[in-house]
Structure 1
Amino acid sequence: MIKTRLGRTPLEVSSICLGTMTFGEQNSEADAHSQLDYALERGINFVDTAEMYPVMPRPQTQGDTERFIGSWLKKSGRRSEIVLATKAAGPNPNLHWVREGKQNLDAASLRTAVEDSLRRLQTDHIDLYQLHWPSRNVPIFGATAFDPAKEREAIPVEETLAALGSLIDAGKIGHIGLSNESAWGVSEFVKQADMRGLPRIASVQNLYNLTARNFETSLMDETCYREDVGLLAYSPLAFGQLSAKYLDDPKASGRLTIFPASWSPRYLRAPVLAAVKEYAALARANGMTPTQMALAWCYSRWFVASTIIGATSLAQLKENIDAMSVTLTPEVVAEIDAIHARITNPGA
C-alpha cells in the first residue's frame, strides 16, 4: 500500500482510507471490527469518521460510529498503527441533537466536540481533526452556485484556527483539515494561519468521483497544489451508483434504496444515471467491473492524497481495495474524459 505525506505534516497516510459512515446503521459493531481488522491486514493505516455518523443522521444513533471504532481500539490495542481522523459538524439546524444544537466552530463548541469524540473513540488524541463543513455560507451537498442571499453570521476563520491551536497545544488533536470547502476557503485558512502563526491545514476532504469532477474546474486542484493541501476524496462511487448495482437492479440494497430519496437527490438525477450507464459499459467493454474502473481512476489522480472508501461487506471492501492494482490505459482514460465532456459533473 502506497503511503503519502499529508500536507506539511509528518503524517504518512495510506492512499486508501477506510470510511466508516455505515458503522452503526448498515453495519453492526462486529461488522465494523471485521472491516477494521481487514483494512489493516491490507495495509490501510488511515481511518476516517465523524461525530455525526452514522448516516442517515438521527439522534438515536449519533456517535455510534466513533463508539464502534473506540471499542475496536480498546479490544485490538492497535491505536499506534492508525492515523485516526474525525470531524466536527458545522452549523445545521437539522442536526439539533449534535452538541445540543451548539455545533458552530467557536472555541467552546469545538472543545466540547473534541472531548466527546475522544471519549467515544477511547483514545487520548486525534491525529487529524477536520471541520465537516464551513461555518459560513458556501454551496455544498449538491448546491452548485454561491447565493449571497443566504449569507449568515459565521465564526471568523482566525477564531476557529485559534481554537484548534489551543486543542493542539493541549495534546488533544495533532493536525487539522477541512471538508466540503471551496478554493476561497482553503486559501483563507492558509492565509490566516500564515499571517497569525496559527496551525496550518493539511488536507481538504471533498466530493470527487467520475460524476463530480468539479475539484478540477473550480481551481481547487491548483490551490491545493500550491498550498500543500492534500485532497481526501470522498464518495468515489457516488453512493454506489458508479458500481452500477442500481443500474443492474434498481431495487438493489444500498443507501439509495434504504434511505429517503431526499437525503441524496444528486445521485438520482437523470444525467447521473445516463453517465453511470456509459461508464459501466466502458468498464465492462475493457474487462473491468464498473467499481474497479471508477476507483482505479480516482486512485490514479495526481492530486488525491487518499481516497475514502466505504463498504457494507468484506466482499465489497476487498473489491474496493483490489482496484488499487488496476491500471487504466491511456485509451480508457481518454474515453472517460469523452464521457465527462458529454455529461459534465452531473453528480456535483
Structure 2
Amino acid sequence: MEKRRLGRTDLHVPALCLGTMMYGDQISEDEAALQMDACLDRGINFLDTAEMYTVPPKPETQGESERIVGRWVASRGVRDKVVLATKVAGRSPAAYMRPEGGETRLTPEQIRFAVERSLKNLQTDYIDLYQIHWPERQVPLFGGLRTGYTHYKEKGVPIEETLGALGELVIEGKLRHIGLSNETPYGVMQFLNAAEKENLPRVVSIQNAYNLLNRIFEAGLAEMALEEDVGLLAYSPIAQGALTGKYLNAANPPGSRKALFNRLQRYETPMTDEAVRGYLAIAKEFNADPAAFAMQFVTTRPFVTSNIFGARDMDQLEVIFSSLEIKWTDEMEKAVNDLHGRIQNPCP
C-alpha cells in the first residue's frame, strides 16, 4: 500500500482511508470488525470517524462509530499499528452533543470536552489527527453552493482561540496533529496565518468532498494543498454511490442510503444523470468497474493525501481494493476532463 506524507509531519498514511461514519446504524459492529480486519490486512491502517457519527446524526447513536472503532482497536491490540482520525463538531444546534445543551461551538471548553470524550470512546490516550468537522463561521456547506454564495459577517469564536485550545491539547500529548474539514481557501489560510503568527500547530490536512461530479476543490484549494502541504483527505469519492449508476432515473434500490435515510439530495441535481451516464460510459470503455474507476480518479490526484471510502459490505470493499489495480492513463485523464469540460461540477 502506497504511503503518503501527512502535511509536513513525519507521519505517513496510506493512499486509502477507511471511513466509518455508517458504523452503528447501517453497518453493524460485527460487519465493521470484518471491514477493519480486511483493511488492516491490506495495509489500510488509517481510520476516520467523528464525535457526531453515526450518520444520519441523532442522539441515540452519537459517538457510536468512535466506540465501535475503539473496541476493535482494543480487542485486536493494534493501537500502535493504526492511525486514528476523528473530528469535533463545528457550530450547530445539535444540543444533545454537549452536556450543557445549546449550540456546539469551537470554544476551548467545548473542544476539551469533545477531545476527552473521543479519547474515552476510542480507548486511547492520544488521537493522531483531530479535525474541525466544519467551520465555526457560517459558510455554504454540503451542496449549499448550488444556490449561490451568501456572505455572513458574523464569524463567531476567533480562529486563533480555537487553534490555541487545540495547541494546548497537542502540548499535553492528547492530539498529535490538527486538520480541517469542509473548509474554504480563506479558512485554511486563516488557520495557517494564525499558526505562524501565534506559534500554534500548523494544520496538516483538509477533508472535503471530492469526486467526478464535484471537483470544486480544484478551483482554489488544490493550489493551496500543494503549495502549503495541506493535502486533501477526499470524502465521497463515489458521490454517495451515485457514480455506480444505481440511482439513475430516480431509482431507489432497497437497502441503499437513499432508501434508508433519504439523504442523497446533494447528488440529485438536474445534470446529475447525464454526467453519471457519461462517466459510466468512460469506465466501460476502459473495462473498469465504475466505482473502482471513480475511486482511482480521486486517488491519483497530486493534491490528495488519502482517499476516504465507505463500504456497505465485503463485496463493495473488494471493489474498493480493486481500484488500486487500475493504471491511470493519459487516455483516461483526457476522457474524464473532456466530459468535465462539458458538464462541470453538477453536484458542488
Matches within 5 A, 1:157-306: 157-217=159-219, 219-247=220-248, 250-252=251-253, 253-260=255-262, 263-306=263-306
Gaps in structure 1 of 5+ consecutive residues: none
Counterparts in 2 of 1:78 and 1:248: CA distance versus 1, 3 Å:
farther
Q: What amino acid is the match of 1:128?
A: L
Q: Following TM superposition, by how much is the alpha carbon of 1:306 offset from its aligned partner in structure 2, in angstroms? A: 0.3
Report the equivalent of 1:129.
130
User: Which digits, 9 at most, give the CA deviation of each residue in 1:46-67, with x for residues without a partner?
Assistant: 1100000011111111111001
Matches within 5 A, 1:48-197: 48-93=48-93, 95-99=94-98, 100-144=101-145, 145-148=148-151, 150-197=152-199
Is 1:321 the counterpart of 2:321? The answer is yes
- Which 4+ stretches in 1 moved above 4 angstroms? none
Output the CA distance in 2 between the equivalents of 1:65 and 1:284: 35
Output the CA distance in 1 between the equivalents of 2:92 and 2:82: 30
Output the CA distance in 1 between the equivalents of 2:138 and 2:149: 8
2:60 is paired with a residue whose SS is coil
Q: What amino acid is the match of 2:248?
A: L
Number of aligned residues = 343
User: Which digits, 9 at most, give the CA deviation of each residue in 1:214-262, with x for residues without a partner?
Assistant: 0111x111112111111100000000001222239923232122112xx
Output the CA distance in 2 between the equivalents of 1:251 and 1:102: 34
Report the equivalent of 1:312.
312
Q: What amino acid is the match of 1:333?
A: E
Q: Following TM superposition, by how much is the alpha carbon of 1:2 offset from its aligned partner in structure 2, in angstroms? A: 0.3
Output the CA distance in 2 between the equivalents of 1:87 and 1:259: 22
2:87 is paired with a residue whose SS is strand
Q: Following TM superposition, by how much is the alpha carbon of 1:153 offset from its aligned partner in structure 2, in angstroms? A: 4.4
Q: What amino acid is the match of 2:315?
A: A
Output the CA distance in 1 between the equivalents of 2:153 and 2:66: 32
Q: Following TM superposition, by how much is the alpha carbon of 1:265 offset from its aligned partner in structure 2, in angstroms? A: 1.1
User: Which digits, 9 at most, give the CA deviation of each residue in 1:179-223, with x for residues without a partner?
Assistant: 000011111100110111000000000110000000111x11111
Q: TM-score, normalised by structure 1?
A: 0.96
Q: Following TM superposition, by how much is the alpha carbon of 1:322 offset from its aligned partner in structure 2, in angstroms? A: 1.6
Output the CA distance in 2 between the equivalents of 1:347 and 1:311: 21
1:190 is paired with a residue whose SS is helix
Output the CA distance in 2 between the equivalents of 1:332 and 1:175: 35
Output the CA distance in 2 between the equivalents of 1:66 and 1:112: 15
Output the CA distance in 1 between the equivalents of 2:224 and 2:330: 26
1:110 is paired with a residue whose SS is helix
Q: Following TM superposition, by how much is the alpha carbon of 1:25 offset from its aligned partner in structure 2, in angstroms? A: 1.1
Q: What amino acid is the match of 2:149?
A: F
2:18 is paired with a residue whose SS is strand
State, as a whole percentage, how many aligned pairs show the same letter.
46
Structure 1 residues 150-159 or 73-82, which shifts more? 150-159
Gaps in structure 2 of 5+ consecutive residues: none
